[in-house]
């Protein structure tokens, strides 16, 4: 079809036969996507279609879940657009300050113009890669990643998601070590594909899918003595540890910081037993905790690091696993040992390159540290007098967890915040703890509003 006939046919429902209804439906939706503003009538239609199709074709469980975390009527809040770098707007025009940050996707804010521009420019020239010629942006991004990550991390493999980077890390560690035992930690979250799920710790997500890949053990996060004993025992029985997989700060588990010295001791233990140290920085990386990478706070360099979430700048799904040459060279002889069709595509690489540019230019890691301290202080002050409800407010940079006395109180607070236009993350693994992880571009005014809403909501909760 030529461009002209392509355009001429848009909006016209000239197709007859088997697919005519589907064609009409797609036309209607394409028209809506194209619109800058939608009418009330269109908003109502979008809401109705969304709810009906979630019920009939996505998963009705999502509707039940939303009903349980929002006031009546609010459960059907349907998102439609960004509202500036730090807010979402629903189809009815209600604005939400994004303190969920897509669980850590939006470090440079929503649709940062530089990232949008890089991706659009790339899209206008070439969308995806030939899969045969050498793709320049992959190579250039790999160099940037090598230069910006600490220590001697040097070779990168690009993926489309966090779970894929963990899969790649596990395969790389096996390939390098000829060992099959991995140690992960309690409350860890590494993703939900079968390999990464083996490292993830929450029983409810694992149990129906057992057995996991063989060789996975879990020890308590922060317990270095147990880690040592487990490594010793593994060595004694001839099942030497290939790698220890750990988040430097546990995100999904409820923003759990490592005890003093833990990560350094872990590094030493891994060296002693010839195991690789794998840091999952999918959530903590890209400036979130106040440094470009969380491990820099602790002065520890892993052998393999996983990045995703904010890696694509909130525009493209993208992730990277980066390793030392010593480790990665096991993939040199046959680079096809681990591959992905879309990983490292030109659009994703353009987005990631622009993301690093923005993180550096706008000094966002330092901004995360500053705003994080400000918000944590404000939230703690707001919680004074509610010690029976709020047990602890902790975090680093703009990865903040608020732990409540009970699940019910946590739910009431996130519900109240949502109704007042503040989106927060109730954690999947630990419902008692909600996470505050806004774009690193959040303003002081917005931070003040979040703190004020938190104070107001605490005052309305009758549970204890």
Ligand X SMILES: *Cc1c(COP(=O)(O)O)cnc(C)c1O
Q: Which residues bind ligand X (CB under 6 A)?
A: 103, 161-163, 166, 189-191, 247, 251-252, 280, 282-283, 308-309
CB of 182 to ligand X, least distance (A): 14
| Separation in Å, CA 98 to CA 206, 290, 428 | 30, 19, 18
| Separation in Å, CA 192 to CA 412, 428, 429, 431 | 28, 12, 13, 18
d(CA 172, CA 200): 18
CB of 63 to ligand X, least distance (A): 22
d(CA 254, CA 427): 6
Q: For ligand X, give the closer residue by CB, 106 or 386.
A: 106
Residues 6 or more apart whose Cβ sits within 8 Å of residue 196: 162, 163, 166, 167, 170, 190
Q: For ligand X, give the closer residue by CB, 90 or 252.
A: 252
Rg of the Cα atoms in the chain: 23
φ, ψ (nearest 5 deg) of residue 277:
-100, 120
Give the H or E element holding residue 279.
strand 276-280
What are residue 425's DSSP bridge partners?
A: 435
Q: For ligand X, give the closer residue by CB, 105 or 409.
A: 105
What are residue 394's DSSP bridge partners?
A: 401
Q: For ligand X, give the closer residue by CB, 149 or 283.
A: 283
φ, ψ (nearest 5 deg) of residue 283:
-100, -30
CB of 246 to ligand X, least distance (A): 10
Q: For ligand X, give the closer residue by CB, 343 or 416.
A: 343
- 286-298: b or e for each residue (b if 16 or more CB lie within 10 Å)? bbbbbbbbbbbbb
Residues 6 or more apart whose Cβ sits within 8 Å of residue 398: 101, 288, 289, 290, 368, 371, 372, 375, 436, 437, 438, 440, 442
Q: For ligand X, give the closer residue by CB, 309 or 432.
A: 309
CB of 192 to ligand X, least distance (A): 7
CB of 327 to ligand X, least distance (A): 19
Residue nearest ligand X, Cβ-based: 162
Q: Is the peptide bond before 211 cis (omega within 30 degrees of 0)?
A: yes
Q: For ligand X, give the closer residue by CB, 280 or 403.
A: 280
What are residue 97's DSSP bridge partners?
A: 87, 422
d(CA 327, CA 238): 22
φ, ψ (nearest 5 deg) of residue 113:
-55, -35
Token code pair at residue 83: 């509202």
Q: For ligand X, give the closer residue by CB, 168 or 369.
A: 168
Locus of tokens 């994703």: 348
Q: For ligand X, give the closer residue by CB, 191 or 365.
A: 191
CB of 73 to ligand X, least distance (A): 30
Q: For ligand X, give the closer residue by CB, 245 or 457.
A: 245
CB of 282 to ligand X, least distance (A): 4
344: left (phi over 0), alpha (psi -120 to 50) or beta: left
CB of 161 to ligand X, least distance (A): 3
Q: For ligand X, give the closer residue by CB, 308 or 434.
A: 308
CB of 338 to ligand X, least distance (A): 16
Q: Which of 371, 318, 323, 360 is nearest to 340 (CA)?
A: 318
CB of 185 to ligand X, least distance (A): 11
CB of 427 to ligand X, least distance (A): 10
């Amino acid at each position: 079809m030529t461009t002209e006939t392509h355009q001429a046919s848009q909006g016209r429902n000239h197709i007859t036969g088997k697919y005519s209804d589907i064609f009409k439906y797609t036309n209607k939706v394409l028209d809506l996507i194209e619109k800058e503003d939608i009418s009330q009538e269109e908003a109502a239609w979008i809401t109705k279609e969304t709810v009906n199709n979630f019920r009939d074709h996505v998963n009705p469980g999502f509707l039940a879940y939303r009903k349980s975390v929002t006031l009546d009527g609010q459960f059907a809040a349907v998102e439609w657009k960004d509202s500036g770098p730090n807010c979402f707007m629903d189809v009815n025009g209600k604005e939400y300050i994004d303190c969920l940050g897509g669980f850590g996707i939006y470090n440079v804010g929503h649709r940062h113009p530089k990232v949008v521009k890089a991706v659009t420019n790339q899209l206008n020239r070439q969308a995806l890669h030939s899969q045969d010629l050498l793709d320049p942006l992959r190579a250039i991004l790999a160099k940037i990643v090598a230069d910006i990550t600490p220590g001697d991390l040097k070779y990168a493999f690009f993926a489309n998601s966090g779970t894929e980077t963990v899969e790649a890390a596990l395969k790389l560690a096996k390939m390098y070590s000829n060992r099959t035992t991995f140690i992960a930690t309690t409350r860890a979250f590494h993703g939900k594909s079968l390999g990464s799920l083996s490292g993830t710790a929450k029983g409810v997500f694992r149990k129906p899918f057992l057995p996991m890949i063989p060789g996975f053990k879990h020890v308590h996060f922060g317990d270095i003595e147990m880690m040592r004993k487990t490594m010793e025992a593994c060595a004694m029985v001839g099942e030497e540890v290939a790698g220890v997989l750990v988040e430097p700060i546990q995100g999904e588990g409820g923003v759990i910081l490592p005890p003093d010295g833990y990560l350094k001791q872990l590094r030493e233990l891994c060296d002693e037993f010839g195991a690789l140290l794998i840091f999952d920085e999918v959530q903590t990386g890209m400036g979130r905790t106040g440094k470009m990478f969380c491990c820099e706070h602790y002065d520890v360099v892993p052998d393999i690091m996983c990045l995703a979430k904010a890696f694509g700048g909130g525009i493209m799904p993208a992730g990277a696993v980066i390793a030392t040459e010593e480790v990665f060279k096991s993939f040199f002889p046959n680079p096809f040992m681990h591959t992905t069709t879309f990983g490292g595509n030109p659009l994703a690489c353009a987005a990631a390159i622009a993301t690093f540019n923005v993180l550096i230019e706008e000094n966002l890691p330092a901004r995360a540290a500053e705003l994080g301290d400000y918000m944590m202080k404000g939230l703690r002050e707001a919680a004074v007098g509610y010690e029976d409800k709020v047990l602890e407010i902790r975090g680093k940079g703009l990865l903040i967890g608020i732990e409540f006395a009970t699940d019910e109180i946590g739910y009431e607070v996130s519900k109240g915040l949502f109704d007042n236009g503040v989106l927060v993350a109730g954690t999947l693994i630990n419902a008692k703890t909600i996470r505050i992880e806004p774009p690193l571009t959040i303003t002081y005014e917005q931070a003040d509003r979040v703190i004020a809403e938190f104070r107001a909501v605490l005052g309305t909760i009758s549970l204890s």
